Structure 1
Amino acid sequence: MEPITSSVQSCRPRRVLVSLDTSPASENALAYACKFLLPDMCVRLISVVEDPVVPLPLPERIPRSLRSVRLDLARSARDTLEHAQMVLAAAGHRADTELLQLSKQGGNVVHAIAEAAVSWRADLLIIGAHQYHGFLRWIEGSVAEPLVSNINRPLLIAPESFDATLANGLRRILFAVDGSTEVLPALRVGAAFATSETHSRAIYVIDKASRFDNPLPFALLDRTLMEEGKSAIAMARRVLDDVPGTKTTEIVSATQCGDDIAHMIVREANAWRADLVVMGTHGRRGAARWILGSVARRVARIACTPLLLVNSALR
């Protein structure tokens, strides 16, 4: 078995890709990134210029209008990248930029970002999140969920509602774990951000709602859930014990049977004033295991805290 400490250190991102648009959500994501980027990290900023959609057939004047619109969109994207470069430079970080134009490259925003992450060999992708009617939505409604599902890169989603300007580095990192070893990549990647000033806290949430769709007697199921919680916490301790800073673990139980895991995680993050929540994006659920992909998506929709999602395939 590889040493836990060395595996954590090797998981620290060294190539960070930040996807930006012209929204306040992107500005907030950039401000958040400034808080934890390290001098030895290589940073690239990208912005995707979408191709305007028009009905067919095209009137004679439309092609000229489209060229004008594309030029305006490209100019705005370049301004965004230049501004972001200056923000990072003021924080002591150097970054290069890349403009992705769908009118030339084809495909859609999801493919453009994913291909940019793969071709540049990014270790971490950062995007911002909008908030509408109490629910978080990502930079593009059709972008982040496919990225979460398909990209084999750690993905950090920074919600617009999180005040990144008040953040003081990653002082409080909350790890949400289940009973499977598939959360180990998330533990290792998240723990790699810990410093001597970081408090790393791992929680396992007992899902009382699972009582109602499980054939086991309540008492036996409760014991099963508690045992799995203890196993999950012990695994988290093995990863966190040798990283810097303060480490604590806890088994959390919902106060009501109707509470789901996602809302419990969000409430814990808010009450504890976490700077970052870390979760795996895949897993399986037997009597007690989460469907982490589903839980992670629900957390991303309602969280007010930046969320780091790590694919379980990342080993």
Structure 2
Amino acid sequence: MKRSTATAAGMQHVAPYSRLYVLFTGMERIASLLECVAGWAAHGAHVRLAGLAPSASLPDSDQRPAQQCSNRIALTATLETARELLALRGIEADCEFLGTGPDSAARNEALARAVRLWKADLTIGAPANPVALAGETASPVLMLPTPTARHCSVPPGRVFVASDASAASACAVREAATLAAPGTRVRVGYLACDPAAAQHPEDFDAVILEAGHEGEATAHAIIQAALQWHADLLVLGTRGGHEGGRWRYASVAAEVAQRTVLPLLLVPQGSQTLMLT
């Protein structure tokens, strides 16, 4: 597989995403989140900033409305500040507030519906179930872990892609190629399959990862390999978070999403993002 002539010739890298949906819950590292938006938004991109306030945690039901109101006020201020900071970078964005819903399932459903309505080609943030969100919206999800996790470099200098040579993994490799600016190093870690039998761009490194057949062991092998290689970004393909949407050995993507300290880009099979040929 060869990358496009523009990338191979070292021409200026073009940010790949034109419709971004950015999720705020009040737990994010705002500077890192906005850096990702500014770095991966194509010129003239449409950006929507969405607030998803956490559910009230107080046991006293009489105090919950006040806490919910306080959460919403704080998050609304965060959204407005983020919008103004993006405007200073020449990026216009609008804001919306998602309903909290009675439970986590309702919240996840509301988020997926909002992403689909926006026709996003990238969602950025820390959704509760990023694997399911990627599968349900058929668009990549860039998951930024907790504020104490690794900083998200944009563009990433070192990208690690895990692959089991499936169609979903091939989508992840192609997505990594769209993100790779001139000078970016990309390594594909193959799980129990011969790199020679799979396809990846000629200028990508390739290694074989030794891992067991259980999701937890495989996820650990992927994360450790990415960390030891000093990756800035980890990329995984997925067919979603439901039955039938699993890697060869288990729901590896979900395990990685729960454990990683690296920014994680989840690429669903059938993603509508423009890919290199």
When normalised by structure 2's length, the TM-score is: 0.75
Partner of 1:118: 116
Query: How far is the alpha carbon of 1:279 from its aligned partner?
Result: 1.1
The separation in 2 between residues aligned to 1:124 and 1:169, in whole angstroms, is: 15
Greater Cα offset, 32-41 or 18-27: 32-41
The total of aligned residue pairs comes to 257
CA drift of 1:185 comes to 2.2
Match of 1:304 in 2: 261
Matches within 5 A, 1:147-158: 147-158=133-144
Report the AA paired with residue 116 of structure 1: A
8 Å CA contact 1:28–1:163 kept in 2: the answer is: no
| Distance (whole Å) between structure 2 residues aligned to residue 102 and residue 301 of structure 1 | 22
Q: List per-residue Cα deviations over 1:100-133 (Å, max 9, x = no partner).
A: 23479xx8211121111111110011113xxxxx
- Give the deviation of 1:79 after TM superposition: 0.8
Of 150, 160, 164, which residue of structure 1 is paired with 2:151? Answer: 164
Partner of 2:166: 180
Compute the displacement of 1:202 (Å). 1.8
Of 46-55 and 295-304, the range deviating more from structure 2? 46-55
Cα gap change, 1:25 to 1:270, in 2 (>3 Å)? same
Determine whether 1:196 maps to 2:149: no
Aligned to 1:76: 74
CA distance in 1, matches of 2:51, 2:161: 30
Quick check: 149-158 or 257-266, which moved more?
257-266
The answer for the alignment partner of 2:275 in structure 1 is none
CA distance in structure 1 between the partners assigned to 2:268 and 2:257 by the alignment: 15
How far apart, in 2, do the equivalents of 1:97 and 1:162 lie? 26
Counterpart amino acid of 1:162? A
- For residue 270 of structure 2, what is the aligned residue in structure 1? 313
Give 1:14 shift. 1.1
| Cα distance, 1:257–1:313 mapped onto 2, change above 3 Å | closer
Equivalents in 1 of 2:250, 2:47: separation in Å? 28
User: By how many angstroms is 1:299 displaced?
Assistant: 1.5
Structure 1 residues 195 and 10: alpha-carbon distance in aligned structure 2, compared to 1, 3 A threshold: closer
Answer yes or no: is the 8 Å Cα contact 1:177–1:279 preserved in 2. Answer: yes
User: In structure 2, what is the equivalent of residue 236 of structure 1?
Assistant: 200
Q: Deviations over 1:257-292 (max 9, x none)?
A: 999332222112112221211111139xxxxx9437
- 2:151, 2:248 → 1: CA distance? 30
Query: 1:1-315, aligned counterparts within 5 Å?
Result: 5=4, 12-24=16-28, 28-49=32-53, 62=62, 68-102=66-100, 108-128=106-126, 139-140=127-128, 143-160=129-146, 161-164=148-151, 167=153, 169-206=155-192, 225-226=193-194, 229-232=195-198, 235-237=199-201, 241=202, 247-254=203-210, 260-282=217-239, 290-291=247-248, 294-314=251-271
Query: Structure 2 regions of 5+ residues with no counterpart?
Result: 8-12, 241-245, 273-277
Change (3 A) 1:39 1:125: same
For residues 3-32 of structure 1, the C-alpha deviation after alignment (integer angstroms, 9 at most, x for no partner) is 9749x9999321011111111456643444
Q: CA 1:270/1:50 → structure 2, altered by over 3 Å: closer, same or farther? A: closer
Question: Partners in 1 of 2:67 and 2:220 — Cα distance?
Answer: 42
- 1:12 touches 1:189 (CA, 8 Å); kept in 2? no
Show CA shifts across 1:164-186 (max 9, x none): 27x35221111212222332322
Unaligned runs of 5+ in 1: 129-138, 207-224, 242-246, 284-288
CA separation of 1:186 and 1:293: change in aligned 2, threshold 3 A: farther
Paired AA for residue 208 in structure 2 = V
1:50 and 1:102 in contact (8 A); partners too: yes
Where 1:39 maps in the other structure, the secondary structure is strand
**Post-superposition shift, 1:305?**
1.2
